[in-house]
Structure 1
Amino acid sequence: MDSLKTILKFLNDQKTAIGYSAMALLTVGGERLFSIFAFRCPCSSQNLDYGLVFLCVPAVVLLILSFFLDSRTWKLFTGCCLNPRKLCPQCHCFHCIYVLVKITASALIAPVMWFCVALLNGTFYECALSGFENDAYRAYLCQNKPLSCKADVYRVPCGKTMMNASDSEDVLLILRAQSQVIGWSLIASTAIALLLVSCYSACRSQVSYLQEMFWRKYIEKERQHFEQFSDDYATKLADRNLKSFFENTKPDPLPLPSNNAWEEISALYSFNRAHQYYSTLHRYVEGGKRESNEDIQPAFGFVDGGQII
């Protein structure tokens, strides 16, 4: 039993890394399924359009899904048409822009993974660029090749060119090498960007490393207990209403939070140097109010970040 608890605790502590690993595996699996079962390069003048569709459209779909599944998106936009100040409280447009940048940065993870996997495999890129009708580019691909090479480039992914097998393979290798170079460059630039942002956030942190660890633990426990309390109170309310309906009796009083209370705890978190609140719920129960001097700190992105609906 102790060993099982240790394993479960480790999985819970590493769930972010496990989640990203699962996302990477699903991206790799999805790309392979597309390549094997759905993708058929037409080897015609439509190569460029066809290849770009398979390379870009899944990334766009993943970006939209990432926005849709990020709870911060709904915290920010729910009710904003009726209350525009929710987007820009106290006319601080920086707040809205900053939150949108954070949401977008998180949403870009899945599309970037798709691009990296697809480019390293090279299938979509080979098809798309073989249909790129640019004389200079085709001259580059066809260096030291027969004169028919330029007209046959779009047939290279299918292996149906008029060139000999060796020349056709050389052109295909160039396209594949370009795709993989771009893929590795994207991986390296993304890793460097993440490192720089993480270092900058840590340098700008208003609290110590250990307090931030405690903060993360608190946020996770609050989420877990909020789900449990929500389930319990929803069950109590449903039971009370059904009992009152079927027994034709007056319902027993059941205190629930007001609409204003729900609005307060549903707001995106902002850090205030004057108070040690660990969440919007913590601020509300302590009697704190949202103030215009609340500071948006990158180090505390985890407070509202990353959870799926």
Structure 2
Amino acid sequence: MEVFKTIWNFAADKKTAIGYSVMGLMTIGGQQLFSLVAFKCPCSHQNVPYGFVFLFVPALVLLGMGYFLNSATWKLFTGCCVNPRKIFPKGHCCRGPQVFLQVTMKAFFAPVLWLSMALLNGTFYECAMSDWQTPVYVRAICANKSMECPKELHKVVCGKTSMPAPEREEILRVLQAESQILGWGLIVTTVMLSLLYTCQASCRSKVSYLQMTFWRTYIEKEKEHFDKLSEAYASKLAERNLTSFFENKEVDPFELPSNKAWEEVSSLYFFTRERQYYSTLHRHVEQDRTCVNKEEETMLDFVDGKCV
């Protein structure tokens, strides 16, 4: 899980071609493994549920993992039952759903890739649709075929039908062609929607391209240093407490951020042109803590479609 999380964060946060390629290879490898090792079409009237389970269930699992491994999910929802204004801030009720939409778009990368590769391969689709009993579909696929076609269509994938070999091969080609058309259609649709969303987000961006590049670099470095310092301070605190326990002596003072400070720096980022802070932590250390506007603390915003 830790290895997958590292790869996922590398791809989703940095959005590098290498990261997405690694995720793509993992998804394609998993799909091929399922097809060769785990998938065995029953060639019965259970073809439809069996084929669609292998087609859609792994995609749903990948979608769930995409939500689970994205830190923005937990920034958005942690404490939302106690303070619903984190998701629906006053005067900006659409901000929370917009951020959730961004998280969803990231989470959909692996599921869409799985479905695309599975449809291009055709194995799962052929099994499922060979037993699709809709009269219109059966008449269309069995047109100009032998009388056994409607009754033995579910056996075509396994080659256990009494239909002539040329008819069986033709049906398999039709099923594979349908699957591949759907696969390419899904790929084209996803690419076009991603392009449109990226263009729309860039057009509405509040910062220039170079400043956005700097902002992304800052966020990555801040996360790296935060993880290192968190581990260091946690280690010091644990060592202080254990030393006090075993040596039975008074503890030395140990300054830590207040609960309010933790809450502020854990919220999603709000960007304004007037005060150019690059994260909630940056804003917290720069501003006078007593003058932070409570309304502003609950606001959510994003630049170039990226959550912080």
| TM-score, normalised with respect to structure 1 | 0.90
Structure 2 CA distance for aligned equivalents of residues 293 and 235 of structure 1: 33
Aligned match of 2:99: 99
Give CA-to-partner distance per residue, 1:26-70, whole Å, 9 cap, x none: 111111111111111111111111111111111111111111111
Kindly report which structure 2 residues correspond to 1:4-83, keeping only aligned pairs within 5 A, or say none.
16-83=16-83
Q: Tell me which moved more, 213-222 or 90-99.
A: 90-99
Instruction: Give the direction of change, closer, same or farther, for the CA distance of 1:76–1:296 in structure 2 (3 Å limit).
Output: closer
CA distance in 2, matches of 1:14, 1:106: 12
Q: In structure 1, how many angstroms separate the alpha carbons of the residues matched to 2:65 and 2:25?
A: 17
Partner amino acid, structure 1, of 2:135: D
| 8 Å contact kept, 1:120–1:179 | yes
**Identity level (%):** 54
* 8 Å Cα contact 2:59/2:114 also seen in 1: yes
Superposed CA deviations along residues 181-221 of structure 1, whole A, max 9, x for unmatched, are 10011111111111111111111111111111111111111
What does the per-residue CA deviation read over 1:129-184, in whole Å, with 9 as the maximum and x for residues that have no partner?
A: 11110121111111221111111111111111111111101000000000001001
Structure-2 change in CA distance of 1:259 and 1:291 (3 Å): closer
Q: What per-residue deviation string (whole Å, max 9, x for no partner) do you get for residues 101-151 of structure 1?
A: 111111111110110010000000001111110121111111221111111
1:205 aligns with 2:209: no
The equivalent of 1:137 in structure 2 is 137
What code does the residue aligned with 2:166 have?
A: S
- The aligned residue for residue 307 of structure 1 is none
Contact residue 118 and residue 124 of structure 2 kept, 8 A: yes
**After superposition, what is the alpha-carbon deviation per residue over 1:201-252, rounded to whole angstroms, capped at 9, x for unaligned?**
1111111111111111111111111011101111111111111111111111
Report the counterpart of residue 301 of structure 1 in structure 2: 305
Structure 1 runs not aligned, ≥5 long: 1-10, 305-309
- Classify 1:297/1:75 alpha carbon distance in 2 versus 1 (closer, same or farther; 3 Å): closer
Q: Distance in 1 between matches of 2:14 and 2:233?
A: 30
Asked if the contact 1:85/1:91 (under 8 Å) is kept, the reply is no
Q: Quote the offset at 1:73 in angstroms.
A: 1.1
Which residue identity is paired with 1:117? M
- Secondary structure of the 1:31 match is helix
Which ranges of structure 2 fall in alignment gaps of 5 or more residues? Answer: 1-10
Q: Is the 8 A contact 2:43 2:154 kept in 1?
A: yes
Displacement after TM superposition at 1:291 (Å): 6.1
| 1:194 is aligned to 2:194 | yes
Q: C-alpha separation between the residues in 1 aligned to 2:265 and 2:220?
A: 16
The 2-side partners of 1:91 and 1:68 are apart by 29
Greater Cα offset, 229-238 or 92-101: 92-101
Q: 1:59 to 1:270 in 2, by over 3 A?
A: same
CA distance in 1, matches of 2:294, 2:198: 27
Q: Secondary structure at the match of 1:90?
A: coil
89-98 or 185-194: which moved more? Answer: 89-98
Inter-partner Cα distance in structure 2 for 1:300 and 1:286: 24
Alignment match, 2:5:
none
Equivalenced residue count is 293
The two structures have a TM-score, normalised by structure 2, of: 0.90
Structure 1 pair 290/94, CA: closer, same or farther in 2 (3 Å)? Answer: farther
On the 8 A contact 1:271/1:297 being kept in 2, the answer is: yes
